[in-house]
Structure 1
Amino acid sequence: MAREVDPKKTRKALRRLKRARKKIEDSEKSDTLSDWEDEFLGSVEDRLETFGSAFNDPEKGHLDEALSGLQTAKLREIERKAAGKARKPMSRGKGFKSSFKRKGSGPRVRDINEDIEEETPEADEIPEAAAEPSRPSGPPKLRVVKGDKGDT
């Protein structure tokens, strides 16, 4: 089952490829395209002329488009290169920091002096009521607790 691609979109993609190739040929730098990019433009152009689309996998782009998403991005990069603009490096992202913005101004700073506990008073200064009850030492002693059920 062949895909139905709009012929206008195919012609538009072919014109973009030819324009990019012409810009590169007209520029002073003759070696602006790498071998891979030159081969990419040629193979995409061949597939567009033969099949009307340069990709077949529906997961790689919209079915009614002539170029896949990655092919469009690479073509855009080649067009920028032909125009003499520098290539943007891949963004590494900002992680979670951008999504969790803090309120207030300035960085949060931890004061280590707040972690120091105040000195406790001497043992003889502690009142008897505030002293902890002593715990029995040794193994626990088990005993039977009688319930309130009567003997029947």
Structure 2
Amino acid sequence: MPKREVDKRKTTKALRKLRRVAERASEEGGPGLTTWEKDFVEGVTERLETYGSAFRDPSKGRLEDALSARQAQITRVIDKKSRKSKADPASDAKAGDAKEERSRSSFKQRQPMRAQSVRKQGKAKTAWKPRVRDINEDVELPASEAAPAPAPVPPKPGRPSLKVIPGGKS
């Protein structure tokens, strides 16, 4: 198997980012790292320092990268978590205002054609009912079937008797 060539700059960049994320999360007022996240950061940092890469399987990411695709994604999640809690409430309000301004667009989402025609006709949207018919409603029952059958007569009390049926085997 050919030896992997991992770019040193990518390794140092990944190390720097991991350390920065861990520091930002563990700062005062930060969210802190869970034990799993601490173990992840320590393990990946150790592998990066030792081998220059934190993964070996080529199916997990690009061979020239220092982190696998999943490791990079987890690092981004931890980074986002640490940035979000670090922001002060005043900047959150500004971010909310900016979000409202972005949502006020002259472009509206297009409605399906059926919804447009119903709205133009002034019909209120009602629950959909299938146009089906119960076939049992059309069938008229004869009087004999309509009346309930009489209850069977209970057998006479006593010992059962056996009889020979004529026309049987001879």
**Normalising to structure 2: TM-score of the pair?**
0.51
**What's the C-alpha RMSD, in Å, of the aligned pairs?**
2.9
The Cα of 1:25 is off from its aligned counterpart by 2.8
Task: Name the counterpart of 1:54.
Answer: 54
- Name the residue aligned to 1:104: 114
Residue of structure 2 equivalent to 1:73: 73
Q: What's 2:161 paired with?
A: none
How many Å apart are 1:115 and its aligned residue? 2.7
Which consecutive residues of structure 2, in runs of 5 or more, have no partner in the other structure? 86-110, 119-124, 139-170
Structure 2 Cα separation of the partners of residues 53 and 43 of structure 1: 11
Q: 1:109/1:23 Cα in 2 relative to 1: closer, same or farther (>3 Å)? A: same
SS at structure 2 position matched to 1:84: helix
Superposition map of 1:3-152 within 5 A: 3-29=4-30, 32-85=32-85, 103-105=113-115, 110-112=128-130, 114-116=131-133
- How far is the alpha carbon of 1:2 from its aligned partner? 2.1
TM-score of the aligned structures, taking structure 1 as reference length = 0.57
| Paired letter, 2:15 | L
Give the 3 Å change call, closer, same or farther, for CA 67–108 of structure 1 in structure 2.
Answer: farther
Residue identity in the other structure for 1:47: R
Aligned CA distance change for structure 1 residues 61 and 103 (closer, same or farther; 3 Å) = farther
- Residues 111 and 17 from structure 1, CA distance in 2 versus in 1: closer, same or farther, beyond 3 angstroms? closer
Name the SS of the counterpart of 2:114 in structure 1.
coil
Percent of paired sites with the same residue = 37
Name the SS for the 2:40 alignment partner. Answer: helix
Q: Secondary structure at the match of 2:24?
A: helix
Equivalent pairs, count: 102
Q: Distance in 2 between matches of 1:108 and 1:55?
A: 57
Aligned CA distance change for structure 1 residues 104 and 33 (closer, same or farther; 3 Å): same
Cα distance in 2, alignment partners of residues 79 and 111 from structure 1: 51
